[in-house]
């Protein structure tokens, strides 16, 4: 049991929660692992690993991604106006780590092709979803990007899962 007090609507509650507790609790929520790839108007490519991907709407078809404001990929997404969500397969933990790094050329050692939309699609992924930026909203230290789906490719296979700060596969 726990005690709770209601905060009146329209006022902000003041709470103190340690970031370590927040991270620990969040790590107990399993999620798929994706690499978001993007290209700017000059053809510069980049990408990042994330688990904050949400199938937002069926009509219109939209996905939502949450990108850290410090990400080197964020300005590329904003400049190019499109991004590709690559759902990683269970054998692609190394690619997840590559795109989680601060490397400036993350695609150099990763097999991929450039889609008709000019975006990298990583070989061996379960699926890729190409989106055009619909809107961008602030979300604390991240920006929430809603994308309208332009294209979907489904290749099949088992997804890579992130749970308790480690990669897993579905047995």
CATH number reported for the structural domain that contains residue 72 in this entry: 2.30.110.10
| 51 part of a folded domain | yes
Distance CA 83, CA 151 (A): 11
| 86 part of a folded domain | yes
| 10 part of a folded domain | no
What's the domain range around 80? 19-168
Split into its structural domains, the chain has a count of: 1
| 82 part of a folded domain | yes
| 140 part of a folded domain | yes
How does DSSP assign 96-138, residue by residue? HHHHHS--S-TTTTS-EEE-TTS-EEETT-SEEEEEEEEEEEE
Residues 6+ apart with CB under 8 A from 128: 84, 85, 86, 87, 115, 121, 122, 151, 152, 153, 155
Residues 6+ apart with CB under 8 A from 125: 35, 86, 87, 88, 89, 92, 155
Digit-by-digit pLDDT tens for the chain (171 residues) are 444 455 667 777 778 889 888 888 888 888 999 999 999 888 889 999 999 999 999 999 999 999 999 999 999 999 999 999 999 999 999 999 999 998 888 998 999 999 999 999 999 999 999 999 999 999 999 999 999 999 999 999 999 999 998 899 887
At 77, list the tokens. 């997404």
| 8 part of a folded domain | no
109, 95 in Cβ contact below 8 A? no
């Amino acid at each position: 049991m726990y005690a709770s007090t209601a905060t009146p609507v329209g006022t902000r509650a003041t709470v103190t929660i340690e970031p370590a507790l927040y991270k620990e609790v969040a790590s107990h929520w399993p999620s798929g692992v994706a690499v978001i790839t993007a290209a700017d108007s000059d053809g510069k490519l980049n990408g990042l690993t994330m688990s904050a991907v949400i199938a937002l709407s069926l009509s219109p078809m939209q996905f939502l991604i949450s990108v850290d404001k410090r990400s080197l990929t964020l300005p590329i997404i904003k400049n190019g106006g499109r991004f590709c969500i690559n759902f990683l397969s269970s054998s692609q933990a190394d690619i997840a780590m590559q795109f989680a790094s601060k490397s400036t050329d993350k695609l150099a050692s990763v097999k991929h092709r450039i889609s008709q939309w000019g975006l990298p699609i990583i070989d061996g992924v379960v699926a890729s979803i190409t989106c055009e930026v619909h809107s961008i909203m602030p979300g604390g230290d991240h920006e929430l990007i809603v994308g309208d789906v332009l294209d979907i490719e489904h290749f099949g296979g088992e997804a890579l899962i992130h749970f308790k700060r480690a990669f897993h596969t579905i047995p």
